Chains A and B, each alone.
Chain A
């Protein structure tokens, strides 16, 4: 085994490895990148139903409803996410994170239904009461309802 041959083998192995990783990464990016939409984006752009996306904004005051009958065991709730220009109805079945509040920022992962309702599979738990998800802050700035104090304008 000459040094040259050895290097050639190593190089070949390296290229195969890098090639595989690149192929895996590219295909994974195509399928698994989750884009963020604000409620206004959802109205303006077409979001294909069935694709996993992430939405964010404020939980609209007074919009949180427990849809199930009294005495039922279901944990389903509905609420609206707003950027104070547009809002989008969300249905979610699961445990509500500790910091989920009406009037506070929220980010939800899920899919847009053909009925215009966003089916959330996950509400993102945030670590801090005062914390505003950056996407939400951005969405509020775009819709022109952002106040520099960090507290969004109330309607």
Chain B
């Protein structure tokens, strides 16, 4: 009964979305308030129905109702409850329901919190939001029904892909989708503004909180995904420039650019049509990401099912959802009034540079990700584009971005003083020089690039702090005065400082972990000791244990340094009998400034199944161990968390609260706090 209710709720949601997509738009064109108001109640109703459907689906998973096809294929009665719940979105159909659930959540939020929006803009935003909803609800109802019944029901389910049975990955998709789909709201705002033919600073102010919310969620989602690949793929790496990773990274880059250009649109009424274009592109890249990942064009853990019908359907959505707004943009953008003018050396100029570098960076990632597909389509040759390509193209583009990042906040709007700004950054320059020198002394034979990377990280973080120090006039007014100023800074200023500081921490983590990682790969037998960067790993053997739905072989390493015990680590292999699949669980011991990382594997594993006896030099009970010393690697995620926290701080700024009254006139330009 429950699955039927869920199915019915989905179809009702589709019907409501159709109403929401059409009537408010007509109402806005005719200036009919009653018709426009339908958008609000429809958005709430649509959200209610989808939430009901989602709850029904989750219920099927929790009670292991194997008469439902997706449950039978992706769940198992022996799985822990957490993974039964996570299994709801750990498959194609369920993840699409999560997608529309979040889409409707954002639509309902606009309806609920957008009370101060002009009625016509709100009606159009909700209508555009519902058009996306119609497309994806139709996609689910017609090609990916999650409530399909099986008759007869199998006695037990097929289990969730063991790689997905992980607490980190359980919550990675919801956050990633909050980010991806969050850009649907900015997209709807952009399309609505194009229909209205009007973009003003107020519009930019309404858009920013939605962009920020999406950006924060996407930052957390990407960080979670990379953390997962760090500890489960067992390679000691955290980012592989895999197409699926790139699919989530491209909207992040476009979203970051959008965050900054929206500030210019809000404060200076400039870069308006570019901001609109970015808002469209950020969501377009999210859709492309969904298409790449869901269509099965790219094979990965994310490609749940390869069904050409689905790929074609998403491709059709993609063409309409990207082509339509872009055509509208080409038609309407020239009518947008041009905003304030500015000198090349100015805050606006720096933001333009930021946007230029971020969007070019995004374009190189796009090219590197899709080039193999193009080439395959053109002449059938199979190529792959790996990390070296991205290291050679993307990284050099980000270096000037980070250098400018410290300077830009010190440059005034409209016409700035570059020499003055650089002069005020002497402290950051000194710190970054000291870090470079310290790195040179501390790390024997450190490469020039690595020293540069560390100096860059210090420049970025110290620059963010210098900017706050300047703003509170540290050491130039009495200290208590500075503290008072610090506390009265707007939250959005805090947000920027925190986020920029986090990027510095992130860069330090990336640089150190890629430059000074120590790796040891060898066979170990019980009693063997391996030295990794001064840490002695002693192998104590492997024991077998039974988990709820897996058999675990758990190794033990006792780690000492100069004879003193440091840690006991348990890397393991888990074998999932239902799916006949083995996963590797790395053991990680973190000191927060470095990680010890260990995985084990059975060196003969690959040869056991074929039953081939021709294996003269078996490893005799030895295990293959992969041991790492990863300096500063936790800083990568700490940096990402700091960035997300900066976004949250900015989100709580009074001025961004959509419900807050819009000030009658802009703040006086002389107030130092108005700068951002």
Contact = CB atoms under 8 A, between A and B. Distances in A.
B670 interface: no
Contacts of A117: none
A1 B357 contact: no
Contacts of B605: 96, 98, 100
Interface in A41-88: 54, 59, 61-62, 64-75, 77
Nearest to A54: B384
Interface residues of B, number: 66
Nearest to A69: B617
B603 interface: yes
Contacts, number: 163
Given A18-B360, A31-B388, A34-B385, A102 B607 contact: yes
A72 B388 CA distance: 33
B480 interface: no
A113 B620 CA distance: 30
Interface string B110-140: 0000000000000000000000000000000
A35 B352 CA distance: 37
Nearest to A72: B523
Nearest to B367: A25
B393 interface: yes
A28 B388 contact: yes
Contacts of A59: 606
B603 A96 contact: yes
Given A32-B389, A32-B392, A67-B617, A128 B523 contact: no
B612 A62 contact: yes
B575 to A, nearest CB: 10
Interface residues of A, number: 60
Given A75-B521, A94-B521, A1 B343 contact: yes
Contacts of A35: 381-383
B546 interface: no
A65 B617 contact: yes
B591 to A, nearest CB: 24
A78 B52 CA distance: 55
B626 A95 contact: yes
Interface string B610-635: 10101111111000101000000000
A87 B368 CA distance: 31
B583 interface: yes
A20 to B, nearest CB: 8
Interface string B354-397: 00110011011001100100000000011111101100110011
Given A24-B364, A27-B392, A75 B233 contact: no
B163 A127 contact: yes
Given A1-B341, A21-B360, A129 B603 contact: no
Contacts of B353: 13
B470 interface: no
A155 interface: no
B617 A101 contact: no
B389 A33 contact: yes
A123 B618 CA distance: 20
B360 A34 contact: no
Interface in A100-119: 100-103, 109
Interface string B312-356: 000000000000000000000000001001111000000011001
B579 interface: yes
A43 B332 CA distance: 58
Nearest to B581: A129
A95 B234 contact: yes
Contacts of A66: 603-604, 615-619
Nearest to B603: A75
Contacts of A25: 364, 367-368, 393
Contacts of B606: 59, 64, 96, 100-102
Contacts of B343: 1, 6
A90 B219 CA distance: 40
B652 interface: no
A15 to B, nearest CB: 10
A126 to B, nearest CB: 8
Contacts of A77: 603
Interface in B284-328: 299-301
A17 to B, nearest CB: 5
The listed residue with most A CB atoms (<10 A of its CB), out of B338, B353, B388, B626, is B388
B356 A14 contact: yes
Contacts of B617: 65-70
A3 B352 CA distance: 15
B385 A3 contact: no
The listed residue with most B CB atoms (<10 A of its CB), out of A3, A70, A71, A73, is A73
B562 interface: no
Nearest to A98: B582
B624 A96 contact: yes
Contact of A3 (B338, B610, B615): B338
Contact of B299 (A2, A73, A133, A138): A133
B380 to A, nearest CB: 9
Contact of B384 (A14, A27, A34, A127): A34
B233 A125 contact: yes
B161 interface: yes
Interface of A: 1-3, 6, 9-10, 13-14, 17-18, 20-21, 24-25, 27-29, 31-36, 54, 59, 61-62, 64-75, 77, 93-96, 98-103, 109, 125, 127-129, 131, 133-135, 138
Given A3-B341, A6-B343, A31-B392, 16 more contacts: A13-B356, A14-B356, A28-B388, A32-B388, A32-B389, A36-B382, A64-B607, A64-B615, A65-B614, A66-B603, A66-B616, A69-B617, A74-B522, A98-B605, A101-B609, A127-B161
